[in-house]
Amino acid sequence: MDYNLIIGIIIIAIIISFSYGYYLKESDNTIKIEPNKIITSNGKLKKEISDCLAMINYELAQQSVGRGDYEAAERQCTQALNTAPNGKLKNEIGDCLAMINYELAQQSVGKGDLEAAERQCTQASKTAPNGKLKNEIDECLAEIHEAAKMRSQLEKLKMDENKKYSILLMIDVSESMRTILDPHKSVLIEYLKKEKRLSKSSFGLILFGGNVIWSEYKKNGKDLYSAIQNIHSDSGGTNMYDAFVCAKKNLSKGNNGIILLSDGEPTGSNGHTTANEKDRIIKYVNKEIIPILKLKNGFGIEYIALGDNINYEFLNRLENLVNE
Rounded to the nearest 10°, the torsion over CA 93, 96, 102, 108 is: -90
Domain boundary among 150, 169, 185: 150
Looking at the structure, do residues 115 and 213 belong to the same domain, yes or no?
no
pLDDT at 15: 46
Total domains in the fold of the chain: 2
Looking at the structure, do residues 189 and 133 belong to the same domain, yes or no?
no
pLDDT at 199: 80
pLDDT above 80: residue 255: no
Looking at the structure, do residues 192 and 124 belong to the same domain, yes or no?
no
Looking at the structure, do residues 136 and 257 belong to the same domain, yes or no?
no
Q: What is the CATH number of the domain that holds 138?
A: 1.25.40.10
Looking at the structure, do residues 230 and 249 belong to the same domain, yes or no?
yes
- Examine residue 23 and state whether it is found in any structural domain, yes or no: no
pLDDT above 70: residue 298: no
Domain boundary among 150, 167, 196: 150
Secondary structure tally for the chain: helices H, strands E: 12, 7
Tell me the mean pLDDT in the region 228-249.
91
- Backbone φ, ψ for residue 144 (5° rounding): -65, -40
pLDDT above 90: residue 272: no
Q: Is the distance from CB of 35 to CB of 19 less than 8 angstroms? A: no
3-class secondary structure, 40: coil
- Examine residue 174 and state whether it is found in any structural domain, yes or no: yes
pLDDT, tens only, 180-211: 788 788 888 888 888 877 887 889 999 999 89
* pTM, rounded to two decimals: 0.65
Looking at the structure, do residues 297 and 187 belong to the same domain, yes or no?
yes
- Backbone φ, ψ for residue 49 (5° rounding): -65, -45
User: What's 285's DSSP letter?
Assistant: I
Domain of 99? 42-150
Q: Is the distance from CB of 192 to CB of 220 less than 8 angstroms? A: yes
DSSP-assigned states of every residue in 114-151: HHHHHHHHHHHHHHPPTTHHHHHHHHHHHHHHHHHHHH
Looking at the structure, do residues 182 and 136 belong to the same domain, yes or no?
no
Looking at the structure, do residues 117 and 243 belong to the same domain, yes or no?
no
pLDDT above 90: residue 250: no
Q: Whole-number mean pLDDT of the chain?
A: 81
Looking at the structure, do residues 190 and 91 belong to the same domain, yes or no?
no
pLDDT at 13: 54
pLDDT above 50: residue 219: yes
- Examine residue 273 and state whether it is found in any structural domain, yes or no: yes
pLDDT, tens only, 124-154: 998 888 888 888 888 888 878 877 888 888 8
- Examine residue 239 and state whether it is found in any structural domain, yes or no: yes
Q: Give 22's contacts (C-beta < 8 A, 6+ positions apart).
A: 16, 33, 34, 35, 36
Q: What is the CATH number of the domain that holds 190?
A: 3.40.50.410
Domain boundary among 119, 150, 181: 150
Nearest of 163, 167, 160 to residue 192 by alpha carbon: 167
